[in-house]
Chains A and B, each alone.
Chain A
Amino acid sequence: DADVTQTPRNRITKTGKRIMLECSQTKGHDRMYWYRQDPGLGLRLIYYSFDVKDINKGEISDGYSVSRQAQAKFSLSLESAIPNQTALYFCATGTAGTDTQYFGPGTRLTVL
């Protein structure tokens, strides 16, 4: 969905490097989410934010941090990347009025 964009789309980095993944949305939604996808495990929630001042940990937040710079922007950081953080990362948006979420195209991250 072009309304939710993620940058970069692909990234290869080395163990120990800091990396930031960015998500922007033009849907006007107040809620934003970060997931990672691993084969056979579906998507798992890393962090979520209901508004700029409300950020919450998901089920697998260790090793990650986030920043909600504005209603439309939600960034995910890996302070010191490790190989088992190699995955496909998705950003999603939603609103308080519905539980439907809208996903970005994903960022494929490889940590060597």
Chain B
Amino acid sequence: AQSVTQLDSHVSVSEGTPVLLRCNYSSSYSPSLFWYVQHPNKGLQLLLKYTSAATLVKGINGFEAEFKKSETSFHLTKPSAHMSDAAEYFCVVSGFKAAGNKLTFGGGTRVLVKP
């Protein structure tokens, strides 16, 4: 079985300051990990994906995430928040390939960016 815990349901940052979204996962094998973003009234957009090639993964819009196996974490960061980063972010783990690579989602973190 696998699970994902996003440690903060809401994060508030000021524009131009760093953003940190925390994610811990549980999996019986080496999973693929994702971060997706959902802007208001929009679908989900893939930010980045970890597949064991490198522990630091760079995504779109200046985001990056670091995979730490010892801590079972996959935290998402951005050095400088922009107003357009206001959205909900989901940490996702992919299931075992033989089971169809089903995705398990965290509960989401809603980011508010203050001017």
What chain B residues lie within 8 Å of A4 (beta carbons)?
43
**What residue of chain A has the Cβ atom nearest to residue B9's Cβ?**
A40
Between B32, B49, B102, B103, the greatest number of chain A beta carbons within 10 A of the residue's beta carbon is seen for B103
Known contacts: A40-B9, A42-B106, A42-B108. The answer to whether A56 contacts B43 by CB under 8 A is no
Main secondary structure on A side of the interface with B: strand
Cα A48 to Cα B104 in complex, Å, equals: 13
Q: Which chain B positions have C-beta within 8 A of A44?
A: 105
Q: Which of B53-61, B75-83, B93-101 lies on the face that meets chain A?
A: B93-101
User: Does A99 belong to the interface (CB within 8 Å)?
Assistant: yes
Q: Which of A40, A43, A48, A90 is within 8 Å of B100, CB to CB?
A: A48
Find A45's partner among B9, B49, B102, B107 (CB 8 Å cutoff).
B102
Interface presence of B44 (CB below 8 A) = yes
Q: Which of B4, B43, B94 contacts A106 (CB 8 A)?
A: B43
**Judging by beta carbons under 8 Å apart, are B105 and A103 in contact?**
no
Would you call A50 an interface residue if the criterion is a C-beta within 8 Å of the partner chain's C-beta atoms? yes
Chain B residues, CB < 8 A from A48: 100, 102
- Per the CB 8 Å criterion, the residue count for chain B at the interface is 23
Report the interface size for chain A: residues with CB under 8 A from the other chain.
23
Q: How many contacting A-B pairs (Cβ < 8 A)?
A: 49
Is the C-beta of B69 less than 8 angstroms from some C-beta in chain A? Answer: no
Chain B residues within 8 Å of A80, by CB: none
A50 partner residues in chain B, CB cutoff 8 A:
100
Which of A43, A94, A106 is within 8 Å of B105, CB to CB? A43
CB distance from A68 to the nearest CB of B (A): 15
Picked from B43, B97, B103, B105, the residue with its CB within 8 Å of the CB of A105 is B43
Verify if B90 is at the interface (C-beta below 8 Å from A): yes
Q: Which of B44, B49, B95, B101 contacts A94 (CB 8 A)?
A: B101
Binary flags per residue of A90-112, CB closer than 8 Å to B gives 1, else 0: 10001000011111111000000
Chain B residues in the interface with A (C-beta under 8 A): 4, 9, 32, 34, 36, 42-46, 49, 90, 94-95, 97, 100-103, 105-108
